[in-house]
Structure formats: C-alpha cells, structure tokens
Amino acid sequence: MTQRQILQVFEQYQKARTQFVQTVADLAARPQNTETLQNAGVMSLLRPLLLDAVPTIQQTAALALGRLANYNDDLAEAVVKGDILPQLVYSLAEQNRFYKKAAAFVLRAVAKHSPELAQAVVDCGALDALVISLEEFDPGVKEAAAWAISYIARHNAQLSQAVVDAGVVPLLVLCIQEPEIALKRVAASALSDIAKHSPELAQTVVDTGAIAHLAQMILNPDAKLKRQVFSALSQIAKHSIDVAEMVVEAEIFPATLVCLKDPDEYVQKNVATLIREITKHTPELSQIIVNVGGVAAVIDYLGDSKGNVRLPGIMMLGYVATHSENLAMAVIVSKGVPQLAICLEEEQEDHIKAATAWAFGQIGRHTPEHAKAVAVANVFPKLLNLYLDTESSEDLQAKAKKALKSILQKCTYLPALEPLLYEAPSNILKHVICQFSKVLPHDSKARRLFVTSGGLKKVQEIKAEPGSAIQEYINAINNCYPEEIVRYYSPGYSETLLERIDNYQPV
C-alpha cells in the first residue's frame, strides 16, 4: 500500500469520526432522540473521542455529551458512571478555548440535576479546573466556567462552601466587572446561588466587595442582567440586619424603585423581593424604605401585576406593618389596604391569599384606627369565607383565622362587626361579642342602632355556656339596656305575652 493510500485511509477514518460525532451532537439536541442514543451505547462511543487527536472531534464529542447529560438525571448519571468526568477535567487545563467551553458545559449539565451529581463533579476535581478557566482571557470560557460553578453552588450550603473554598468568589466579582453582558449575568447568578444558603456564605460574598459592583448595575438596560443583580442583592440582604444595612448603604434607593415598573416581570419580582428582604429585619430599615417612597411604589406595583409576581410585594407590606403603629399607618395612608383587598379578591392560589390575609393581620392588629381601615375595606367577610371554606389549604385557613382574630380584638367599628353576628362560628363570634361589650356601654347612639338593626335580638339567641367568656360578654351587653327591652328581644318572649293575654281577665 502506497503512502498516499495510507493517508487516504486515515483521512477516511477522520472524516468518519467527524461525521459520527457531529451527527450524534445534532441528534442529542432533540430530546426525542436521547433514549435511543442511550440504548445504542453512545456514551461509551463518545468517551474515547474526548481524547481524539483532532480538536474539533474532541469539542463536538464534549458538546454531544453535554446535550445528553442536560436532558435528564439518568443520562447525567451515565456520564458519571462512564468515568467521563476525570477526562473532561484533565482536558480543561490542556485544551483550547472551544474545548474548554464544551467541557464546562458537560460539567454544568451533570451538576444541575441533583446535589449527588453536583458532588460527583466536585469529587473529580472540577472546581480547581473551573477556577483556572475563570482566569482565562476568553470571556466565553469564563462564562461557561461561571455557569458550571453556579449549578454546583445552588444545591446546598455544603456544595456552596466547596465552591467558596476553591477561591471562586473573588474571580466572580472580577467577572461582573467585565464588559461582556453575558458574563456579567452568569457571574451575578453564581454569586446569588452562593449567597443564598447561609449568613456565613453571604458574608463571604460581601467581604469581596460584591455589593458595590452589583449596585452599579441596577439600572443597566439589559433585563436579564438586572434580574440576576437584584436576585443576588436580595439573597445577600435576607440573612441579617448587618448585610441588609450594607445593601441599603450602597445607595441603591430610590433608583431601585424605578425597576418596579420594568417591562420584565422577573426584574419587577426580584426588586420586590429585595425590598421585602430589607424591610423584614428592623423598623429602622423599613422606615428608610418608607421615606424613599417604597411603600407607595410597591402598592402601585401590586396594581400592575398578577399572580406570583405579586407575592413579595404583598409580604413586604406585611413586614413593614409588623414593626410599629406608625409604619402600619404608612401602609394605610398610601392606600395599601384597598389594593390588598383587590389582591385577595383576584388571586386564585391559596399561598398568595394566605400571604395577603397575614398582611391584613399585621396592618389591623395595632389600634382601633388600624382595624377600622381594614374593616371598611370589607375584608372581614372575605377572611371569614376563606377560613370556613373546606377547599382552602390548612395554611390559608390558619392565617385567615389568625388575621381575623387579631384585627377583631382591636376593632371598634360596629357596622363592620354586626354582619359577623350572623355568620361567624363560635370561636370567632366570642371576639365579635367582646368588642360590642366594650363599645356599647359608652355610646348611646350605637346602643340604639344595635337594637333597631336586630343586633340585640341576635345576641339573645346565642346559646352560651353559663360562666363562659361569651356569656360574660352577653351579660355586659344586656346590662346596657333596660330589663324589659332585653326581655322583649329574648327568644320566647312573644309566647309569654300571648300566655298573659290568655290569662288576662278583663275588668
């Protein structure tokens, strides 16, 4: 065989390998093909091609493996069991930028499915190789590495700590300062995934100066970047008062409030989440948000949004109102109660209704004035219906009941209480009767209205155990009226009168 013929054989072999690996990569891009490819033993065929002498074959083999592993955890498990990860990690440090991107894609695709698979990626030494990739000149390599790190860190604190211990965080902070938007996005996402698990991990992110660099990007025109920036800031701020204060001190307000009207609803939601995580800590932090117009901005946001996007805004109002009478009044003055009532009416998901009921409880529990603001929005019947509805979740029933009780215990606005005399079960009714027993002794006009509206008659019909709290409240109400009035509205009084007629002898 001549030299030319030998070269032709090698060329044909290379051409066949190239065609094979390209075809598999194309087929792996379509989910319907993955099971067939797996059953055909494609993993074992691709593995030796990762060490092929031809760089394009190596890269395409890695791409095909990444696409397969990305599809489901069974295929990702097959990559791990096929002993493919050590080869990828070894090659990460040796090969060109195209291969590095493809290899990082495989690591990310395996790690995303479960903590166990992410741990397998860590165990094969991937973090050290990914750290080296983060220091590469090529932004595409950095992006691929940051993405893989993000997928490892997001599962739990242990994996996130492993990422931190590898020295990743300072490099990610450098990445968010790079000009490439795609790299900024992924680096911010990775910082968010690291910070979310514990105060210690969040502090690690803070200590590298991440907050200042994230704060500079809050008004960036790229919506996907803003999503990640606000997510990272909220994951940092949620853990403690100290880090929340550091986020606020980065002078992100009032500029952040502009983003509550961003066209991208995920940006809106992440901004609302950030504000919620700040306000939940202390009255002082809540007051700062109130002072910059945060409550009014969130109420407007609730009017413009629907569904789960509303949830952090609803909770933010509840957290603000929790801290003090004045802060709860700030929510009321900003027309927060009518907007929350609309949310309670419109939303279908029980967890959103439960959060709204909780927020009402935080607003109305402070003073009679606060309770009246909730009462006049006609919230009591809605809360009662949610509590009594057998289709409501346990959490929704519990929160509706607790909110109703806490507001009723402060409410002295009788027109809102009276309908509950006819609808409320005994465990709620006793709080309603208690409020009447407090107000009627001191208000002659209310006493008269209570009689003409039928309220006094209804109270006489309530069957209470002698000596019980509700009986004591009924006695206190009855003591507000002449004895004959009470008798007149008591059950059976008309029969008593008729008996007297029967027994009466005309003169």
Mean pLDDT for 73-91 is: 75
Q: Is 13 exposed, middle or buried (0-12, 13-18, 19+ CB in 10 A)?
A: exposed
Tokens describing residue 295: 């409550």
Q: Note whether 287 and 293 are within 8 A (CB).
A: no
- Distance from CA of residue 188 to its chain's centroid? 19
Residue 448: pLDDT band (50, 70, 90) is confident
Q: Is 41 exposed, middle or buried (0-12, 13-18, 19+ CB in 10 A)?
A: exposed
Residue 244: pLDDT band (50, 70, 90) is very high
The dihedral built from the CA positions of residue 197, 198, 201 and 207, taken in this order, carries a sign that is positive
Q: Which residue has the tokens 């790229």?
A: 222
DSSP letters of 409-464? TT---HHHHTTHHHH--HHHHHHHHHHHHHHGGG-HHHHHHHHHTTHHHHHHH---
Tokens describing residue 453: 């509206």
Smallest CA-to-CA distance from 335 within 307, 375, 308, 295 is with: 295
Q: CA angle, corner 152, sides to 149 and 153, nearest 5?
A: 85
| 16 compared with 204, residue with greater pLDDT | 204
Continuous H helices in 196-222: 199-207, 210-215
CB-CB neighbours of 498 under 10 Å: 10
Q: Is the pLDDT of residue 233 over 90?
A: yes
Instruction: Go through 227-254 and write b for each residue having 16 or more CB atoms within 10 A of its CB, e for each that does not.
Output: bbbbbbbbbbbbbeeebbbbbbebebbe
Q: Is the pLDDT of residue 501 over 60?
A: no
Q: Note whether 440 and 446 are within 8 A (CB).
A: yes
Query: Within a 13 Å sphere around the CA of 417, how many CA atoms are in the beta-carbon half?
Result: 31
Tokens describing residue 142: 């950095």
Which residues 6+ apart lie within 8 Å of 269 measured at CB?
A: 308, 309, 312
Residue 182: pLDDT band (50, 70, 90) is very high
Q: Is the pLDDT of residue 14 over 80?
A: no
Tokens describing residue 507: 């003169």
Q: So what's the pLDDT on residue 494? A: 55
Q: So what's the pLDDT on residue 353? A: 93
Q: Is the pLDDT of residue 225 over 80?
A: yes
What is the per-residue pLDDT across 347-371, written as a single tens digit (0 to 9) for each? Answer: 889 999 999 999 999 999 999 999 9
Residue type, 68: L
Smallest CA-to-CA distance from 395 within 364, 363, 358, 365 is with: 358
Smallest CA-to-CA distance from 456 within 446, 443, 465 is with: 446
Region of poorest pLDDT, from 66-70, 143-147, 255-259: 66-70
Residue type, 364: G
> pTM to 2 decimals?
0.83
Q: Note whether 320 and 295 are within 8 A (CB).
A: yes
